């Protein structure tokens, strides 16, 4: 059974940093891309970033480019999202999701971790 | 960037109703479209991928169609557990984008 477990969320002041982790199990981790999707309170889904299975390719939404960095450690079956220069508008539940190889959609999701940016 | 619009944004329906949600892309995306269901406080769940392929384990009352710029998600007979918000997502090119969502509520 595929499982994705996010951690690292919490309260941080504007301008601060936070690192989210996504621990995966139940599939051949290095064969699949992993993405982060966020959802601000009461709002819709927003794609944030995706990393390829090897880690060699990364993609970012314009809203986080230059501030967030996605990476992965295939020896630990874990993906990270380093978030710097955080803003109030980054407040959201952050989900990690496994990317299907062929169609590219997200076929399994974690339960999410809440990031609150506030002074 | 490819923009997605969904209609309607809100839908009130009864158990047993046939429900159709439309997703339109600002440019052609072939069949690179997925549909997700999200219930309050829960993670999204994949329903349909490649515009019309039913994800394993999803009831057959859900179906998807379309290609290019216009897509539909149909629920043939709405069940109590189907009251939720539905999102489309394009995977044709980065940045990946989601539609704004359609909330299906009980009439």
3-class DSSP string for A19-42? EEEEEEECCCHHHCCEEEEEECCC
Sheet holding B62-67, edge to edge: B4-7, B19-25, B70-75, B62-67
The two tokens of residue A65 are 């480019």
Alpha-carbon gap, residue A112 to A36, rounded angstroms:
10
B67/A contact by beta carbon, under 8 A: no
pLDDT of residue A104: 87
* Cross-strand pairs, B55: none
8 Å CB contact of B50 and A47: no
How far is C-alpha A44 from the chain's CA centre? 16
Tell me, what DSSP letter sits at residue A90?
G
The residue among A33, A36, A105 with the most chain B CBs within 10 A of its CB, best to mutate, is A105
pLDDT of residue B28: 97
The per-residue pLDDT for A65 is: 98
Which DSSP string do the residues of chain B spell out, in sequence order?
---EEEE-SEEEE-TT--EEEEEEESS--TT-EEEEEE-TTS--EEEEETTTEEPTT--TTEEEEEETTEEEEEESS--GGG-SEEEEEE-SSSSPEE---EEEEE-
Closest CA to B24 of B100, B93, B95: B100
Report chain B residues whose CB lies below 8 A from the CB of A44.
87, 98-101
Interface check for B86 against chain A (CB to CB < 8 A): the answer is no
Collect all residues with Cβ–Cβ distance below 8 Å to A6 and sequence separation of at least 6.
Answer: A20, A21, A22, A94, A95, A96, A110, A111, A112, A113
Residues B63 and B52: beta-carbon distance below 8 Å: yes
- Pick out chain A residues at pLDDT < 70: none
Distances from the Cα of B73 to the Cαs of A15, B35, B36, B37, B91, in angstroms? Answer: 41, 7, 10, 11, 17
- Looking at residue B107, its pLDDT comes to 86
Residues (pLDDT < 70) of chain B are none
A36 Cα to chain B: minimum distance (Å): 11
Q: Map residue A12 onto helix, strand or coil.
A: strand
Cβ <8 Å between B94 and A109: no
B53 touching A (Cβ < 8 Å):
yes
Name the minimum distance, in Å, from the CA of B36 to any CA of chain A.
9
Question: Within an 8 Å CB–CB cutoff, is residue B13 touching chain A?
Answer: no
pLDDT in tens, B28-54: 999 999 999 999 999 999 999 999 999
Which residues neighbour B19 within 8 Å (Cβ) at sequence distance 6 or greater?
A: B11, B13, B74, B75, B78, B82, B104
What is residue A35's predicted lDDT score, i.e. its pLDDT? 98
- pLDDT for A85 equals 98
């Amino acid at each position: 059974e595929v499982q994705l477990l996010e951690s690292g969320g919490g309260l941080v002041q504007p301008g601060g940093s936070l690192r989210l982790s996504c621990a995966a199990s139940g599939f051949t981790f290095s064969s699949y891309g992993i993405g982060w999707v966020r959802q601000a309170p009461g709002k819709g889904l927003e794609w944030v970033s995706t990393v390829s299975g090897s880690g060699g390719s990364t993609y970012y939404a314009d809203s986080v480019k230059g501030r967030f960095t996605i990476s992965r450690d295939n020896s630990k079956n874990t993906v990270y999202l380093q978030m710097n220069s955080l803003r109030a508008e980054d407040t959201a539940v952050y989900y990690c999701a496994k990317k299907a190889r062929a169609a590219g959609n997200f076929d399994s999701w974690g339960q999410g971790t809440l990031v609150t940016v506030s002074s | 960037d490819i923009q997605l619009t969904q209609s309607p944004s809100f839908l009130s329906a009864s158990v047993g109703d046939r429900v159709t949600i439309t997703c339109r892309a600002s440019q052609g995306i072939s069949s690179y479209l997925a549909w997700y269901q999200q219930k309050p406080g829960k993670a999204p769940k994949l329903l349909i991928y490649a515009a019309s392929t039913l994800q394993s384990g999803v009831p057959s009352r859900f179906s998807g169609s379309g290609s290019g710029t216009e897509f539909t998600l149909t629920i043939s007979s709405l069940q109590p557990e189907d009251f939720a918000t539905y999102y489309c997502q394009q995977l044709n090119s980065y940045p990946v984008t989601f539609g704004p969502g359609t909330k299906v509520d009980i009439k």
